[in-house]
Amino acid sequence: MSAPVFIADGDALRASDEVLLGGDEGRHAAVVRRITVGETVELTDGAGHLARCVVVGASKQGITCAVHERVDVPEPRPRVVVAQAVPKGDRGETAVETLTEVGVDEILPWSAQRCMVRWSGERGDKALRRWRSTAREAAKQARRAWLPSIGGLTTTSVLAARARAAALAVVLHEEAPGPLASVEAPYDGDILLVVGPEGGVAPEEIAALEAAGAVTARMGPTVLRTSTAGTVAAGILLARTRRWA
């Protein structure tokens, strides 16, 4: 059975061969996961540094871990960025969870024209916190040394700028002339995947993104929900990169 992964402060993780994991993360390890002395755990700072440890102390306040091996995991290349149109209900968290598990590096909540939900004020702040919490927990479950970043609410004009800078930008669209499976994945740089809402990407949005260098692509004969389309698309492209070679 693989050792469970917990997120630790980067400075503390690098400073000593014995690390106290306290706070909410430590209490979760000790009380919820019931990690005890003698068990093996892995601690990461979420930015590539991973420490394999043996637990030498445990209490309700956390666990003390003795480091026996350190690994610096290179940042994955090419980077995969998904602009996810904000969906209704908990479908946003579903998308974030599976995007994180499949290996996406950055997730941008997108206020698309046809989104039924609008993030504003405290409602938007609360939703963004849920996305970030979901990504953090999914990254631990997936045993990732690099946590994905969850940006603030993004507009189409910002996505167009990201498309210009990307090595590849793809807008998922069920009426696109070509399949995503035929798109050549770059060796390096950013891959930007744009996932529209349930009502689809508006023609004006497609035009703006294509003008910035994006291409449209479809995935197959069926139409996926917005909460699953990005994960499937990321998997298709990742399978064609050196990351999954």
CATH number, domain at 9? 2.40.240.20
Task: Give the Cα separation of 211 and 241 in Å (integer).
Answer: 26
Predicted local confidence at residue 147, as pLDDT: 97
The structural domain count of the chain equals 2
Please give the residue range of the domain that contains residue 29.
5-72
- The answer as to whether 66 is a domain residue is yes
- The pLDDT, as a whole number, for residue 109 is 98
Walk along the chain (245 residues) and give the pLDDT tens digit of each residue.
Answer: 689 999 999 998 998 899 999 999 999 999 999 999 999 999 999 999 999 999 999 999 999 999 999 999 999 999 999 999 999 989 999 999 999 999 999 999 999 999 998 998 898 999 999 999 999 999 999 999 999 999 999 999 999 999 999 999 999 999 899 999 999 999 999 999 999 999 999 999 999 999 999 999 998 888 899 999 999 999 999 999 999 98
> In terms of domains, do 85 and 68 share one?
no
Closest by Cα among 236, 196, 227 to 96: 227
pLDDT at 220: 85
Q: Which of 49, 72, 95 is the last residue of a domain?
A: 72
Out of 47, 72, 97, pick the residue that ends a domain.
Answer: 72
Residue 241: what pLDDT? Answer: 96
Residue 209 lies in a domain: yes
User: Is 104 domain-assigned?
Assistant: yes
In a domain, 150, yes or no: yes
What's 172's domain CATH number?
3.40.1280.10
Contact 129, 83 (CB under 8 A): no
Rounded Cα–Cα distance for residues 51 and 67 (Å): 6
Q: Both 159 and 94 in a single domain?
A: yes
Decide which of 23, 46, 72 is a domain's last residue: 72
Q: CA 49, CA 47: separation in Å to the nearest integer?
A: 6
Model's pTM, two decimal places?
A: 0.94
Residues 56 and 87 in one domain: no
In a domain? residue 119: yes
Tell whether 178 and 88 lie within a shared domain.
Answer: yes
Residue 244, in any domain of the structure: no
